[in-house]
Structure 1
């Protein structure tokens, strides 16, 4: 049985969430809280398996509540948002940076065409997050965090120029991607393509949040867009993303892979065909196995491949699967990935110099 604390200031929404959560035989709503202060008080005395957290609340908002819970009584937290307000979306991703595991759009009401799908997504997410072993988070001071040199699993020698970097991530990915992009130099010489598994409706806000902390231009990818050096392209909702030989992005409505669209596997396979050994590809924290086999394909084609290590991953599913397949040439902690990417893409220029 999964014990859930529902944190929501609206009585109507709170009752709605409690109602449909209680219909699942594997879930018990052990309590509700009307604001962050009530949530903190409850967590001090009881230990829910999962917390659903609203963002905009009186007294103490969802961001501060998430931060304090993760610093004192770490618990899997799922952010549930019903707002399209840009400020609240920014705050939502700040809450993920503070330790929340996932963000979901508030389930649609009865009679809405997406009602059943959004409820099913929330129930599945709560069940998955209940299995994640979270750890205590300390206040983050990025300016004081050095960029360390990478520990490489095996020697890497490249005689060809790197032309593209591709990254796939799922649970825990937003804050991991943000940390990497924030540490890359503004003269990073190649394009970066990213597939991040996230609830529909949040990609635009996610990209704006990334752009706020990165010196690199960050875009939601568009069909036919020409890849530019030092630009970051994030796959949009409900499209598969691939690249074409003319250096352009192509978005398709091809079938989901691993139940996902966009799929990391789809992007990795396309890049393997077009760029092959001129690629650096990596898998970050996340559940499942999307992209693991395709990372091996890239390695077999001569690409440099990496996976985030277990200790720095929120969930070591995807990178762990890649490591089992021997698909990753490098296994790196999160804080070393940006330095590794910078060294690898600049290696050819250094040799010529």
Structure 2
């Protein structure tokens, strides 16, 4: 008996340029996993049609006439929660800032907008768009309420008596994928400017967006956030972001190493490689945090940090947009504790102060 084929993922395309809209419809239409359920030219039209069309995923332009893609994302996530993939036409500051804020408002990822059939890299960009639309359509999204984010609001911690054998960390590694930007903004934004530990950060995102992502984070918080440079000496109170399509490692000399080694688990940068380098170089003075994301990147590395005596935190399922990477780390036995997002920053600060030593 033959199995019935899987139903195609229904995509709503929101794009004001007729040329680009037709190009996206062409790209999506040739993918056997996807089908275009609607293609509209404005956010207002998308909001009118979404209840009728009921797409599985939305391809969202950011620069739209009238209401922009950020406000459209906010309204969709409030009234008709649907996975949203931002299609960005520029890596300039203004466009990127809107894109990053759309991720904070509930969009799941951002990918490059295709330029034309004959442009360099067209096939790769087209494949990325289709794959991201398909994958993100599987993410269960929840209704986003409009709230005022207060990065320095203290979280209420449960009673915790730290192990007096814990070493004060000398380095903090944080990794995230799908759902990562808003989680990172919340955790890092609650750390003070005089935070006493350098921070290495891996966020899975398209290479062209990484510089803008670091700049966006830098504008949200007291910490100094920058793209990591090879052979740089990590300093307290700074966040070093893995550059696009490059691994970020801690070297035996205690400096940063930027590597073009092959992807690990299809990821470059790889959270596992970063955590492994911290395990090898910092041992029990390493602190690792693994946040929301699909797949298993980071799990093996966090396990090795844990085995080396470092303290490891995984985001709890209750707050993770996608409980893939943290769940894999828990299954391996590499997690000292699982905490919901609201409690992670406070725990990091207590560990960095050496409470309980």
What TM-score, normalized to structure 1? Answer: 0.95
Counterparts of residues 1-353 of structure 1 (less than 5 Å)? 1-143=8-150, 146-151=153-158, 156-347=163-354, 351=357
Q: Secondary structure at the match of 2:303?
A: helix
Q: Is the 8 A contact 1:235 1:262 kept in 2?
A: yes
Distance 1:326 1:219 in 2: 32
Q: CA deviation at 1:45?
A: 2.7
Distance 1:343 1:108 in 2: 48
Q: Residues 21, 189 of structure 1: CA spacing in aligned structure 2 closer, same or farther, 3 A cutoff?
A: same
Q: Residues 151, 282 of structure 1: CA spacing in aligned structure 2 closer, same or farther, 3 A cutoff?
A: farther
Instruction: Tell me the alpha carbon deviations over residues 55-104 of structure 1, each in whole angstroms, 9 at most, x when there is no partner.
Output: 01111110000000001110000000111221110010000100000100
Structure 2: which 5+ residue stretches go unaligned? 1-7
Structure 1: which 5+ residue stretches go unaligned? none
Q: Is the 8 A contact 1:153 1:331 kept in 2?
A: no
Q: Residues 340, 159 of structure 1: CA spacing in aligned structure 2 closer, same or farther, 3 A cutoff?
A: closer
Distance 2:231 2:347 in 1: 30
Distance 1:144 1:252 in 2: 33
Distance 2:158 2:333 in 1: 17
Distance 1:158 1:98 in 2: 40
Distance 1:21 1:294 in 2: 36
Q: CA deviation at 1:259?
A: 1.0
Q: CA deviation at 1:8?
A: 0.2
Distance 1:311 1:3 in 2: 28
What TM-score, normalized to structure 2? Answer: 0.94
Q: Is the 8 A contact 1:149 1:340 kept in 2?
A: no
Q: CA deviation at 1:345?
A: 0.7
Distance 2:78 2:199 in 1: 33
Following superposition, which runs of at least 4 residues in structure 1 exceed 4 angstroms of deviation? 151-155
Q: CA deviation at 1:153?
A: 9.3
Q: Is the 8 A contact 1:21 1:29 kept in 2?
A: yes
Q: Is the 8 A contact 2:207 2:243 kept in 1?
A: no
Instruction: Tell me the alpha carbon deviations over residues 327-347 of structure 1, each in whole angstroms, 9 at most, x when there is no partner.
Output: 111111111111110011102
Q: CA deviation at 1:118?
A: 1.2
Distance 1:55 1:334 in 2: 27
Q: Residues 152, 242 of structure 1: CA spacing in aligned structure 2 closer, same or farther, 3 A cutoff?
A: farther
Distance 2:306 2:290 in 1: 13
Distance 1:311 1:46 in 2: 30
Q: Is the 8 A contact 1:257 1:263 kept in 2?
A: yes
Q: CA deviation at 1:314?
A: 0.8
